[in-house]
């Protein structure tokens, strides 16, 4: 039914909005914590750069729409997709209320997998576990697009954070031994001033990277819903006002109106902000100065942009959290607050099964009511 398809699109955009304010903290926590920008200025920068990043490509969207669930095995009806989205939304709101920087990406993936399994009577074949291609970047499935990036991106974030911070510290130390003008240039006041300006660039880079990865996930869900509706004949006789819903291509194609709508909604959600999570990331894990914020944002954004290029729906939360940890470790391993880090790790571990479990229960409940 057309009404159900429109409801899927609406709920998907609600998720995109929630994703925007839930993950705003990932883009701006460091630049706020270092006092380079006020929260309002940082949110504005994040919203604009998220918008630009969301318009930069569709590789991640194509992974969500065609690389995780086998639509030849299970019928992803509008009701099933609504349950998938609700599973992600509910988990996002729970973690937001608790101030935990959990992954919206993994919440969505968990919701999609849980709903698909419930709709397919728990048949594991409904999920694409692993499909290899001649070129590794074209591999499909949960192993290549979710599991490996879920493990490798936090490791990469932590490692890159240490490396970039270590290089910066080595440069400053070298300048300090030269004496004279060089020594005066590396005084704390000068360093904070220089990296305060540099952090404007790294914060913008982080916002762009977040948009280039996270916004595309909802694009993939909407494209998946439209493709399924088209296959079921729902779009055969559309009223004139709804002609825009007809897909322009196949399952892997993401129409322009989907891209622009999702980008705009995420930017609006970002402008609302997520101050609870900002406090956790920016203040509770480790005390940050502009040089640390620059290193963490640059590390995280680089990982996200690379992952988006290869169509990997990597968690912004994982990459920025571990980058901050890496920077803090390079600064002084004893400054890391392990109790906060432990809570964050538990949120990571629970996200996919929790969101998937909610979606699974909702699908089963709908089928039972029918």
pLDDT in tens, 260-282: 898 888 888 877 765 555 555 55
Nearest C-alpha neighbor of 304 from the set 11, 129, 105: 105
Helix (H, G, I), strand (E, B) or coil at 131: strand
Reference 281, options 330, 333, 343; nearest CA is 343
Tokens of 156: 């990469």
Q: What is the pLDDT of residue 356?
A: 95
pLDDT at 275: 57
Q: CB neighbours (10 Å) of residue 260?
A: 14
Taking the model in full, what pTM does it have? 0.83
Record the tokens describing residue 121, joined without a space: 């009577």
Q: What's the chain's Rg over C-alpha atoms?
A: 21
Question: Per-residue pLDDT for 102 more than 80?
Answer: no
Q: Give me the mean pLDDT over the 323-346 stretch.
A: 80
Q: Which residue has the higher pLDDT, 118 or 312?
A: 118
- Summarize the confidence of residues 81-104 as an average pLDDT: 83
Beta-carbon contacts of residue 150 (< 8 Å; ≥ 6 apart) = 106, 314, 315, 318
92: tokens are: 């996002």
Note whether 126 and 120 are within 8 A (CB). yes
Contacts of 18 (CB under 8 A, 6+ apart): 89, 92, 93, 96, 104, 269
* Residue 168: both structure tokens together: 């910066």
Tally: H helices and E strands in the chain: 14, 0
Q: Which of 12, 309, 329 is nearest to 157 (CA)?
A: 329
Q: How far is CA 116 from CA 231, 272, 316, in A?
A: 17, 32, 24
CB atoms within 10 A of CB 91: 29
Residue 27 — very low, low, confident or very high, per pLDDT cuts 50/70/90? low
Q: Return the higher-pLDDT residue of 249 and 193.
A: 193
How many Å apart are CA 281 and CA 296, to the nearest integer? 11
- Over the range 184-212, which residues count as b (16 or more CB within 10 Å of their CB) and which as e? eebeeeebbeebbebbbebbbbbbbbbbb
pLDDT tens profile 172-202: 887 777 666 665 666 777 888 888 889 989 9
Neighbours of 182 (CB within 10 A): 12
Dihedral pair phi/psi, residue 140, rounded to 5°? -120, 170
Lowest-confidence pick of 131-135, 250-254, 362-366: 250-254
| Structure-model confidence comparison of residues 34 and 259, the more confident one | 259
Phi, psi of 161 (to 5 degrees): -60, -45
């Amino acid at each position: 039914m057309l009404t159900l398809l429109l409801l899927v699109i609406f709920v998907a955009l609600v998720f995109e909005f929630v994703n925007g304010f839930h993950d705003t903290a990932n883009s701006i926590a460091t630049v706020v914590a270092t006092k380079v920008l006020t929260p309002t200025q940082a949110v504005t920068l994040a919203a604009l750069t998220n918008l630009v990043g969301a318009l930069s490509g569709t590789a991640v969207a194509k992974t969500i729409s065609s690389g995780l669930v086998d639509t030849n095995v299970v019928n992803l009806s509008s009701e099933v997709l609504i349950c998938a989205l609700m599973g992600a939304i509910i988990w996002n709101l729970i973690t937001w209320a608790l101030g935990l920087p959990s992954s919206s990406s993994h919440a969505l993936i968990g919701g999609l997998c849980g709903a698909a399994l419930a709709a397919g009577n728990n048949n594991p074949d409904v999920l694409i576990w692993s499909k290899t291609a001649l070129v590794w970047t074209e591999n499909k499935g949960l192993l290549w697009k979710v599991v490996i990036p879920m493990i490798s991106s936090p490791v990469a974030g932590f490692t890159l954070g240490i490396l970039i911070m270590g290089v910066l510290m080595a440069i400053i130390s070298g300048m300090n031994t030269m004496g004279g003008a060089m020594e005066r240039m590396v005084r704390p006041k000068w360093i904070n001033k220089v990296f305060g300006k540099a952090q404007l660039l790294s914060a913008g880079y982080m916002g762009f990277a977040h948009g280039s990865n996270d916004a595309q996930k909802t694009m993939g869900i909407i494209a998946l819903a439209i493709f399924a509706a088209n296959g079921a004949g729902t779009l055969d006789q559309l009223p004139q006002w709804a002609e825009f819903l007809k897909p322009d291509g196949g399952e892997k194609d993401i129409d322009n109106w989907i891209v622009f709508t999702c980008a705009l909604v995420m930017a609006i959600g970002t402008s609302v902000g997520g101050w609870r999570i900002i406090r956790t990331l920016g203040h509770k894990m480790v005390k940050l100065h502009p040089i640390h914020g620059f290193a963490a944002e640059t590390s995280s954004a680089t990982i996200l942009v690379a992952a988006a290029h290869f169509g990997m729906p990597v968690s912004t939360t994982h990459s920025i959290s571990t980058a901050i940890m890496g920077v803090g470790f390079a600064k002084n391993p004893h400054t890391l607050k392990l109790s906060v880090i432990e809570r964050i790790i538990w949120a990571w571990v629970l996200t996919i099964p929790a969101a998937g479990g909610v979606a699974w229960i909702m699908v089963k409940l709908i089928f039972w009511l029918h």
